[in-house]
Amino acid sequence: MNTFQALRKAWSEFLGLFVEDGSLALGIVAVVAVAAILSALAISPVAVGVVLLLGCLGVLVENVLRARRNTSRRPPSR
Q: Smallest distance from the beta carbon of 35 to other proteins, in angstroms?
A: 6
Biggest distance spanned by C-alpha atoms of the chain: 54
CA dihedral of residues 16, 22, 28, 34 (deg, nearest 10): 130
Give me the 12-51 binding string for other proteins, x by CB under 8 A, dash otherwise. -xx--xxxxx--xx--xx--x--xx--x-----xx-xx--
Does position 61 bind other proteins by CB under 8 A?
A: yes
Q: Smallest distance from the beta carbon of 21 to other proteins, in angstroms?
A: 7
